[in-house]
Amino acid sequence: MVKIKLKMTVNNKNVETEIEPYARLLDVLRDKFGFTGVKEGCGIGECGACTIIMNGKKVNSCLILAAQAQGSEILTIEGIENPDGSMHPVQEAFLEKGAVQCGFCTPGMVISSYQLLNENPDPSDNEIKEAISGNLCRCTGYKQIINAVHMAADNMKK
């Protein structure tokens, strides 16, 4: 099998590498580019720990072939913070509201919340729950995460 030359933009940087045709985007992001903030929890698109934003849509990177990402724009958890390294309002809110315990689902939760607030700056409880319904958490019971998204929405409006 011939390797594929993959070119894409990750967190606003152009990147390039060679990949096997069957490689998962999740593994390429983690192993080739060091974006280990993207996690694998189940490998079958259930838990959402691997959630990233690809061409403006949130997807499970464990079910995306790296080859499919040719020419794509990818945003991972590492790209959410502000260019000066300070945390994005969503991240600040997660910190303030105690929305993190073991932290393994957190990158995926932050990505889903970030994407929600981009599309819907004033979400209801139900809209928040729906937005994170594909992100499983075993520690928090989701409540403080939902509180954090509300707080972020409020802060971002100012």
Partner 1 sequence: MPLMGKKNYRHLNKRVNRVDAADKITGRAVYAADISLPGMLFSGCLRSNYAHAEIVEIDTAKAKAIKGVHAVLIAGDVPKSQSWADYPFLCDGRVKYIGETIAIVAAETETLVEDAIKAIEVKYRELDGVFTIEDALEENAVQVREKGVGLKDGVPCKNTKGNIFYDSYYALRKGDVEKGFEESDFILEREYRTSYVEHSYIEREACVVVKDQSAGLVTAYASAQNPFFTRRYLADAIQAPINKCRIVQKTLGGSFGGKEELVGLIVGRAALLAVATDRPVKMVMTREESFLESAKRHPFVFKYKAGLKKNGQIVAWEGSQVANSGAYNNQTQYLACRAAIHSAGVYNIPHIKTDTYGVFTNNIHSGAMRGYSSPQIIFAQEQFINEIAKEFGFDEIELRKQNILKQGNLTATSQKLTEETITLEMVDHMVKRTEYFRKKKEYAGTHGSEEKRKGIALVTCYRGCGYGAETPDAGAALVTAIEDGTVLINSGLAENGQGLKTAYTQIAAEGIGCTPDVINFVGVDTHSIPDSGMTVASRGTVMGAQSMRKAAIELGDMLRVTAAQQLGVKPEEVDIENNEYYVIGSKPLKKTSMANVCNTRLWTGKSMAAFNWSEPEDLGIDHLTSQGDAFPTYSYGVVVAEVEVDMETGFVDVLKVSSGHDVGTCVNPDTVEGQIYGGIAMGQGFGVTEEVPVNKGVLSSLNFDSYIFPTSIDVPEMDAVIFECEDSAGTYGAKSLGEPATEAVGAAIAAAVADATGKPVRELPCNLERTFLGRSLEKERR
Partner 2 sequence: MIRFDYKKPDSLGDCLDLLDFYQGKARIFAGGTDLLVEFRADDKKLRDVEVVIDISKLPELAFIKSDEESITIGAGTTFAEILNDTVLLKFAPFFSEACRTVGSPQIRNTGTIGGSIGTASPASDPGPPLVAMDSFLTLVSPNGRREVLLCDFMEGAYRTIIKPDELIVSVKFRKLNPDAGFSFVKLGRRKALAIARMNVAAYVETGVDGTVKDVRIVPGSCMPITRRIEEAENMLLGEKPNYELHAAIGKKVSEKMVEASGRRWSTPYKEPVIATLVKRALNQAAGVE
Which residues here bind partner 1, judged by CB under 8 A? 30-31, 35-44, 46-47, 49, 76-78, 80-81, 87, 91, 94-98, 100-107, 110, 128-130, 132-146
Q: Which residues of 106-129 are buried (b: 16+ CB within 10 A; e: fewer)?
A: bbbbbbbbbbbbeeeeebeeeebe
Q: How big is the CA angle at 85 (ends 121 and 60), to the nearest 5 degrees?
A: 55
43 near partner 2 (CB under 8 A):
yes
27 near partner 2 (CB under 8 A):
no
DSSP track, 2-70: --EEEEEEETTEEEEEEE-TT-BHHHIIIIIT--TTS--SSSSSSS-TTEEEETTEEEEGGGSBGGGGT
Q: Which does 65 bind (CB under 5 to 8 A by kind): partner 1, partner 2, none?
A: partner 2
Instruction: Pick between residue 59 and residue 104 the one whose CB is nearest to partner 1.
Output: 104
Q: Which does 121 bind (CB under 5 to 8 A by kind): partner 1, partner 2, none?
A: none
DSSP state of 135: S
Q: Residue 48 Cβ, how far from partner 2 at the closest point, in Å?
A: 6
Can you give the binding site for partner 2, defined by CB under 8 A? 1-2, 4, 20-22, 24, 43-46, 48, 51, 57-60, 62-65, 67-68, 70, 112, 130-131, 133-134, 136
